[in-house]
């Protein structure tokens, strides 16, 4: 088969969507399938091939002012038309609901190509990046003030954003996102909990559950035992919606009970500077290590060095870093939100705390670290839980779904205002 990917993010930018796309494309390419990936142009580090069967078509893009890591892809109808004409895809797979996703689904309707959309990201949970508060860079202004005035707490910068659980902005984003995915022939969810959530959100198209999977020959560990100086770990994009500030506040309470504990935060992102200031103001920066970005190829070596994984993210559709940590035998403490309970089984391989509840996260972490028998049992269970996400089985399932959807030949073409706009740019000047 020939599969055409559309995504608003891809390598060299590292995130869960890019990693999932890369893993599936490479595994399926080894089985003889061909891929064309339409994605943003980043500049330095860009490449246009991944082996003989995977080619990339990059599109000009700009930055979202409130979050420079998010690329806004400029429209290029003629470039997409040319790519489809030359590649002749059997199937289009939409990986993001941003502009590339919109361009992709418009193309499937215009040319009658079967389509699939993976719900990688809960866009309604990232609405803080569309607020005037973020767009006007007031978070940076307050951070500068915070360096001078110790009475100002970093966590106050986004408090009103976090606890505004379902505002009108979220509803608008959710409606737009769902409308896009409902134009696909099939929707893929990385977890059963997210599938249930999507159905409650009102999505009408069938939803198949396929884990993003993990190569357990790389991410592996053995049952762990508790140490006197526990090393806690957080991994991922250091962005505001990941709520890493909540983890730091919880760690302050953990240190009061376990003074020998340390916390390592692996990753880079826009929230990193404010987190460093927060750690200094709390007086716990001596016990926290911010490593910055670590190449993904090196990550399997790092997880086994730690004792317990912490996350306060409230918007995970699966949580690849959580899966990687449990595959390496780490117990985990997460929050009761979306797909996290599917990897952190409460009372089995860790605990589930209340979202944004600093004290609850700390108390449940301390409970594990004060009980060697519980800790050892949780570690063994983490290894067991990871087995159901083995990459080969996930690739098998994805291949089955691709074949099933691609069989919908001669799909009816649609003409709409969007597709009329999509047909503009006859000279390809926006490519």
Question: Is pLDDT of 428 > 70?
Answer: no
For 424, other C-beta atoms within 10 Å of its C-beta total 10
Question: Is pLDDT of 229 > 90?
Answer: yes
Which range, 62-66, 149-153, 226-230, has the best average confidence (pLDDT)?
226-230
Check residue 271 and give its pLDDT: 87
Look at 431 and 260; give whichever has higher pLDDT.
Answer: 260
Considering only CA atoms, which of 120, 86, 128 is closest in space to residue 100? 120
Mean pLDDT, range 48-54, rounded to an integer: 96
pTM of the full structure: 0.74
Beta strands (DSSP E) in 174-266 are: 186-189, 207-209, 231-235, 262-266
Check residue 93 and give its pLDDT: 98
Cβ–Cβ under 8 Å, residues 406 and 114: yes
Cβ–Cβ under 8 Å, residues 73 and 60: yes
> What does the pLDDT look like over 35-46, one tens digit per residue?
999 999 988 889
The mean predicted confidence, pLDDT, of the chain is: 84
Look at 420 and 200; give whichever has higher pLDDT.
Answer: 200
For 334, other C-beta atoms within 10 Å of its C-beta total 27
219: Cα within 13 Å, side-chain hemisphere: 26
- 3-class DSSP assignment, residue 29: helix
**Parallel, antiparallel, or unpaired: how do β-strands 186-189 and 115-118 relate?**
parallel
Q: Residue 62: which H helix or E strand, with range?
A: strand 61-64
Which range, 26-35, 118-127, 202-211, has the best average confidence (pLDDT)?
26-35
Q: How confident is the model at residue 300 (pLDDT cuts 50, 70, 90)?
A: very high
- Provide the Cα torsion 177, 183, 189, 195; round to 10°: 80
Cα separation, 109 vs 22, in Å, equals 26
Considering only CA atoms, which of 190, 183, 180, 90 is closest in space to residue 402? 90
Cα separation, 333 vs 312, in Å, equals 8
Q: The dihedral of CA 345, 310, 294, 61: what is its sign?
A: positive
Q: For a pLDDT cut of 70, what percent of the chain falls above it?
A: 81
Check residue 142 and give its pLDDT: 46
Look at 124 and 179; give whichever has higher pLDDT.
Answer: 179
Q: How confident is the model at residue 73 (pLDDT cuts 50, 70, 90)?
A: confident
- Provide the Cα torsion 325, 20, 46, 184; round to 10°: -150
Check residue 208 and give its pLDDT: 94
Q: How confident is the model at residue 375 (pLDDT cuts 50, 70, 90)?
A: very high
Check residue 67 and give its pLDDT: 57
> What does the pLDDT look like over 99-129, one tens digit per residue?
899 999 999 999 999 999 998 865 444 444 4
Check residue 161 and give its pLDDT: 38
Check residue 144 and give its pLDDT: 54
């Amino acid at each position: 088969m020939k599969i055409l990917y559309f995504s608003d993010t891809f390598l060299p930018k590292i995130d869960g969507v890019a990693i999932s796309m890369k893993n599936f494309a490479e595994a399926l390419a080894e089985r003889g399938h061909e891929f064309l990936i339409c994605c943003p142009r980043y500049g330095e580090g860009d490449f246009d091939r991944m082996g003989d069967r995977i080619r990339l078509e990059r599109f000009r893009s700009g930055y979202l002012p409130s979050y420079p890591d998010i690329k806004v892809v400029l429209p290029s109808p003629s470039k997409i038309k040319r790519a489809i004409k030359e590649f002749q895809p059997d199937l289009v797979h939409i990986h993001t609901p941003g502009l590339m996703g919109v361009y992709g689904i418009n193309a499937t309707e215009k040319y009658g190509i079967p389509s699939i959309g993976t719900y990688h990201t809960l866009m309604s949970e990232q609405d803080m990046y569309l607020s005037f508060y973020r767009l006007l860079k007031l978070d940076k202004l307050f951070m500068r003030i915070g360096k001078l005035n110790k009475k100002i707490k970093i966590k106050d910068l986004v408090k009103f954003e976090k606890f505004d659980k379902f505002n009108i902005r979220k509803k608008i984003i959710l409606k737009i996102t769902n409308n896009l995915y409902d134009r696909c022939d099939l929707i893929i969810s990385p977890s059963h909990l997210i599938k249930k959530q999507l159905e409650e959100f009102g999505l009408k198209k069938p939803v198949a559950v396929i884990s993003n999977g993990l190569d357990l020959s790389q991410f592996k560990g053995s049952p762990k035992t508790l140490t006197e100086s526990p090393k806690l770990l957080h991994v991922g994009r250091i962005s505001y919606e990941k709520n890493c500030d909540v983890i730091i506040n919880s760690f302050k309470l953990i240190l009061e009970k376990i003074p020998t504990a340390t916390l390592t935060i692996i990753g880079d992102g826009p929230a990193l500077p404010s987190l460093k200031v927060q750690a200094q103001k709390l007086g716990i920066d001596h016990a926290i290590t911010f490593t910055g970005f670590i190449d993904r190829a090196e990550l399997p070596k790092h997880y086994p060095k730690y004792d317990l994984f912490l996350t306060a993210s409230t918007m995970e559709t699966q949580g690849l870093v959580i899966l990687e940590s449990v595959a390496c035998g780490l117990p985990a403490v997460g929050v009761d939100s979306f797909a996290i309970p599917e990897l952190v089984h409460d009372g089995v391989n860790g605990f589930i705390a209340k979202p944004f509840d600093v004290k609850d996260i700390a108390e449940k972490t301390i409970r594990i670290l004060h009980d060697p028998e519980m800790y050892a049992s949780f570690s063994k269970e983490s290894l067991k839980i990871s087995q159901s996400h083995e990459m080969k089985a996930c690739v098998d399932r994805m291949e089955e779904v691709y074949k099933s959807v691609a069989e919908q030949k001669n799909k009816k073409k649609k003409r709409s205002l969007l597709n009329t706009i999509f047909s503009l740019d006859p000279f390809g000047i926006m490519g």
